[in-house]
Amino acid sequence: EKGGYKHFMLKEIFEQPRAIRDTTLGRISLDTGRVFLAEMEISDEEFRDIEKINIAACGTSWHAATAGKFMIERLARIPVEVDYASEFRYRDPIAGRNTLGLLITQSGETADTLAAQREMIAKGSKTVAICNVVGAMIAREAHGTIYTHAGPEIGVASTKAFTSQLVALFLFALHLAQVRGSVSEDESRTLVEALSLLPGKVREILHTCDSECEALARRYSGARDALFLGRGIHYPIALEGALKLKEISYIHAEGYPAGEMKHGPNALIDETLPVIVLATKDEHNRDSVLRYEKTLSNIQEVTARSGKVIAVAIEGDTAIRQLVDHVLCIPAAPELLLPILDVIPLQLLAYHIAVRRGCDVDQPRNLAKSVTVE
């Protein structure tokens, strides 16, 4: 049942090229760049009238939500608020008919996320679910569902569901942008084409990074703490890398916006601390290049204090090799799609470290796959 893999988690990490392809299947046209979303009880006119989107989710799905905010705001120019589902109801959120509720959930049964959805509906909002389990409660109560076609996820640590959620969010953002006229046909075509190339790129990363991460695990599995840094849309990926590591290896890990280090966390750095930095860039995107340059100075802040840096960077980036201890390479992609690639080495790193520490990777202590209590 594990298809020759030692753990479900590893099998699911390796299923990502297929999961990503299946999530786009039938929803994009390479000729026109258009995105089609079926099963929506929300009209294009309603999509045009939306003034704000409220996203609620938990755990890894909340990280997808936080990356999704960048996609929706950048492409559709609609302001997005992201909440932990467990916090949403208790702040008397501002929501109504012109607010769209978006729930992100692998299981579709998470109690807090369901409660947030009911609060949104009670306030008069329509809701869309991004969900992996067909017919799950949250999908049944939503006015529209974008199913992620990741297939059943058994490992408690979410992997293929996460990258599929990012794909679904990207499709949703681009669809909204097309309905609202905030994206050109040219840009749509370029983005849809880039989306269709992702499965091959993920396959390439799996091929090169698996053994590299295994080697890094040998070196760093004894660490007591770890830091994950990113900027912009890569900050939620840093959070996700930290969550993966802590939940399966029990190493204390934190994700931080790289620029915030000097406001406190720099005090933690010493020669025993591995710092994993997302230092990719999209050459065609000015903001991304700027983000990359700032990230390089953040890396120097870490190395100047003897921290050990593992960077995730774009293939062919020779400059970064001079600055850090290890580089994990990924292929280039547009900025909004890079998270789907740069999370893969983080998943592999967490997996190999946990295996080396003898942890029960698929069934970490104190955790359940589906959290049905508030």
Residue with smaller CB distance to ligand M6R, 99 or 148: 148
CA distance 33 to 36: 10
How many Å apart are CA 119 and CA 266, to the nearest integer?
Answer: 40
Binding to ligand M6R by residue 158, rule CB under 6 A? yes
Binding to ligand M6R (CB under 6 A): which residues in 47-66? 58-61
Closest to 28 (Cα-Cα) out of 344, 286, 337: 337
- Does 110 engage in binding with ligand M6R (CB under 6 A)? yes
| Complex with ligand M6R: residue 82 or 333, whichever CB lies closer | 82
- Rounded CA gap, 84 and 144, in Å? 21
The verdict on 106 binding ligand M6R (CB under 6 A) reads yes
* The two three-digit tokens of residue 74, written as one number: 């950048």
Instruction: Name 117's Cβ contacts closer than 8 Å, sequence gap at least 6.
Output: 56, 101, 103, 127, 129, 138, 141, 142
- Minimum distance, C-beta of residue 365 to ligand M6R, in the bound complex (Å): 12
Closer to ligand M6R by CB, 169 or 192: give it: 169
- 23 binds ligand M6R per the rule CB under 6 A: no
Q: Does 295 bind ligand M6R (CB under 6 A)?
A: no
| Distances in whole angstroms, Cα of residue 52 to Cα of each of 55, 76, 89, 100, 153 | 10, 11, 17, 6, 31
Query: 154 or 194, CB closer to ligand M6R?
Result: 154
DSSP H helical ranges for 123-277: 137-141, 160-180, 185-196, 198-220, 235-249
x/- site string to ligand M6R, residues 298 to 327, per CB under 6 A? ------------------------------
Q: What minimum distance in Å lies between the beta carbon of 20 and ligand M6R?
A: 17
Residue from the set 157, 217, 239, 338 that interacts with ligand M6R by CB under 6 A: 157
What residues line the site for ligand M6R (CB under 6 A)? 58-61, 105-107, 110, 113, 156-158, 243, 247, 367, 370-371
